[in-house]
Amino acid sequence: MSTSEVVLPVGANVPRSNARTAADLPIDTNAAHYVVVTTDGESATAAAAFADRLAPIPVIALDASAGTEALIEVLASARVGWRFALLGGDPGLSRCRAALRAAGVIDAEIVTAGPDPRVGGPRELFCAHCRAISSTDAPIGGETPCGGCGQRLVVYYHFSRRLHAYLGYRPDAEELR
Amino acid sequence: MESTAPPKSVVVEMSDELKLVVARTRMLCADVREIVLDDPTGAILPSFPAGSHIAVEWSPGQRNSYSLTGPSVEPERYSISVRLDPAGRGGSRWAHELRVGDTVRVSPPRSEFAPVATARHHLLLAGGIGVTPILSHVRAAVLWVRSFEVVYAHRSGAAPHLDEMSALCGDRLTVAESRERFWENVTPALARSPLGTHLYVCGPASMVDAVTAAATAAGWPSGRVHSEPFAAGAVTGGTAFTARLARSGTELAVASDISLLDALREHGAQVPSLCGRGVCGECRLTVRGGPVDHRDSYLTDDERDLGDSIMACVSRAAATHLELDL
């Protein structure tokens, strides 16, 4: 499989961003509060520029590249009317989105700006056999050993928003021995 | 159309209708009557999601929708509460004259205002007779142990189901007897609802519009705001216009006090309808020409902008003529 853009079947369930860059993200002027989260170390400048665009709406800026704890703390005081902007790539983006969903946030309250998941980038992989979630650089449709049980897994174009991971399974799992 | 016999009113049969019997009635307040309907054989009636309504036939081809207020899981009876509308076309008057033992034809329950099962909290707002589907929501919330609160606004002396709501809600119920008191409670609720709350509002259209506007301005996405507006009085009124039936070439005068649906039926056209108040979609007609004054709650904004559909039971011509594909 080449490393250029993977062609996915129509209806493939993979995460999509609202825009490639924060500059192109729409702003909901009715929002009561915005939480701007960077999920990798590269989006800080974009996040600051986006926060400037949001004025006078109050903004909380967070860095979640090391984990979602800070975001989860903020969620405890969030209310309906808040909006969440996630900037950066996977796997941090999907982990943040999963944390938001777990807190009751719906897609209409989240905007994301990040690279196209079909083009490179690390992603998290759920092993259907040992259930471990490991991080991989393999492209969607590519193959990689499972970080838990070591079996060769195909990175399938099915993404679980709850687990924030792609489905991985042994491509020869159905062959009889 | 060229016969000399006077036009008959057209009976459009409801498929799967239920023939129920009035088991008992009682007045809940001066102008609201509770009517309890049983199956004549004593059978269990169809279960329904909270917030559902039934369409009750009060004269051939004429139906009014009423929310079901009772328990919803394999119920033994359907209970509805009907407010007498002195300016109406006769449906509520008919309901207030029903006697125990009378047969009533109703549609199976229709769900257009159901609770969102994944909501973290339910904010329920009821205005006047709009309390009926909210009571249904409260029953479901208690049954499924959901987090909820209710603000019930009513004119003093006219608070149907207040006792039952108090018993079910306890301190989760706030009663407001004035608009000021209502907003004293609702404005802070819109600003401070926990993440994951869904809002449900039922009452007169003006109240529903005001709540929806306030929620939007407070940052609530439309996916969290669910509403069921009740028509206040006769929705059919408006200016008179002419409806041209393109296929037959005939023109029909629609007077100011009659709905397009009724005018078409009097003319002999077979137009199905169910709810009579613009929420169910049954009476949708194709418009070939003429701007439409949309008064329904069914079409999306995009569908309205296309201008090729009209809900005949409540909507009218925006100008003097409408051309229909009939």
Q: Give burial (CB, 10 Å; 0-12/13-18/19+) of B164.
A: middle
Q: Do A80 and B224 touch (CB under 8 A)?
A: yes
User: pLDDT tens digits, residue range B165-212?
Assistant: 999 999 999 999 999 999 999 999 999 999 999 999 999 988 999 999
Nearest-by-CA chain A residue for B194: A79
> Cis ω on the peptide bond leading into residue A56 (within 30° of 0)?
yes
| Distance, CA of A85 to CA of A143 (rounded, Å) | 32
Residue A146, min C-alpha distance to chain B (Å): 33
| Token couple for B130 | 């709009």
User: pLDDT tens digits, residue range B237-264?
Assistant: 578 899 999 998 999 999 887 889 988 9
List the domain boundaries for chain A: 22-113, 123-169
| Distance, CA of B169 to CA of B271 (rounded, Å) | 43
Q: Do A79 and B220 touch (CB under 8 A)?
A: no
pLDDT of residue A2: 43
Query: Which of B191, B195, B219 lies nearest to residue A103, judging by beta carbons?
Result: B195
* DSSP for residue B70: S
Query: Which of A81, A104, A105 lies nearest to residue B191, judging by beta carbons?
Result: A81
Q: Which residues of chain A have a CB within 8 Å of the CB of B213?
A: none
User: pLDDT tens digits, residue range B261-313?
Assistant: 988 988 888 888 877 778 778 899 999 998 998 888 788 878 888 899 999 98
Cβ contact A85:A25 at 8 Å: yes
Return the number of CB contacts < 8 Å for A and B: 53
pLDDT of residue B186: 98
Residue showing tokens 């709650």? B297
Phi, psi (5° rounding) for residue A56? -95, 15
CA distances from A116 to A2, A112, A113, B30, B83 (A): 16, 11, 9, 63, 57
Q: How much is the CA Rg of chain A, to the nearest whole Å? A: 17
Nearest-by-CA chain A residue for B123: A80
Q: Does A105 contact chain B (CB < 8 Å)? A: yes
The domain B18-106 belongs to what CATH superfamily? Translation factors (2.40.30.10)
| Token couple for A80 | 């309906």
Fold (topology level) of A22-113: Rossmann fold (3.40.50)
Using alpha carbons only, give the angle B190, B131, B313 rounded to the nearest 5 degrees: 100
Alpha carbon A72 to chain centroid, angstroms: 16
User: pLDDT tens digits, residue range B82-137?
Assistant: 999 887 789 999 999 999 999 999 999 999 899 999 999 999 999 999 999 999 99
Look at strands A152-160 and B309-311 and give their pairing: unpaired
Q: Do A30 and B224 touch (CB under 8 A)?
A: no
Signed CA dihedral, B277, B280, B285, B287: sign only: positive
Candidates B2, B86, B70; CA nearest to B36 is B70
Query: So what's the ipTM on this one?
Result: 0.83
Q: Which residues of chain A have a CB within 8 Å of the CB of B190?
A: 80-81
| Distance, CA of B197 to CA of B220 (rounded, Å) | 10
CA distances from B286 to B235, B267, B279, B306, B324 (A): 21, 18, 17, 11, 6
Q: Does A57 contact chain B (CB < 8 Å)? A: no
Signed CA dihedral, B52, B116, B175, B210: sign only: negative
Residue B191, min C-alpha distance to chain A (Å): 7
Residue A109, min C-alpha distance to chain B (Å): 7
Range with the largest mean pLDDT of A19-28, B23-32, B84-93, B316-325: B23-32
Q: Does B52 contact chain A (CB < 8 Å)? A: no
Q: Does B197 contact chain A (CB < 8 Å)? A: yes
Residue showing tokens 């007077």? B255
| Distance, CA of B212 to CA of B174 (rounded, Å) | 19
Cβ contact B286:B259 at 8 Å: no
| Distance, CA of A175 to CA of A171 (rounded, Å) | 9
Nearest-by-CA chain B residue for A102: B196
Q: Does B188 contact chain A (CB < 8 Å)? A: no
List the domain boundaries for chain B: 18-106, 121-230, 241-324
* DSSP for residue A147: T
| CATH architecture type of domain B121-230 | 3-Layer(aba) Sandwich (3.40)
Q: Is the CATH number 3.10.20.30 carried by domain B241-324?
A: yes
Q: Which residues of chain B have a CB within 8 Å of the CB of A109?
A: 221
pLDDT bracket for residue B7 (50, 70, 90): low
* DSSP for residue B161: T
Q: Is the pLDDT of residue B232 over 60?
A: no
Candidates B299, B292, B285; CA nearest to B315 is B292
Q: Do B216 and A80 touch (CB under 8 A)?
A: no
Q: Do B196 and A80 touch (CB under 8 A)?
A: yes
Q: Which residues of chain B have a CB within 8 Å of the CB of A72?
A: none
Cβ contact B313:B298 at 8 Å: no
What one-character-per-residue DSSP string does B291-318 give? -EE---SSS-HHHHHHT-EEETTT-EES
Cβ contact B257:A120 at 8 Å: no
pTM of this prediction?
0.79
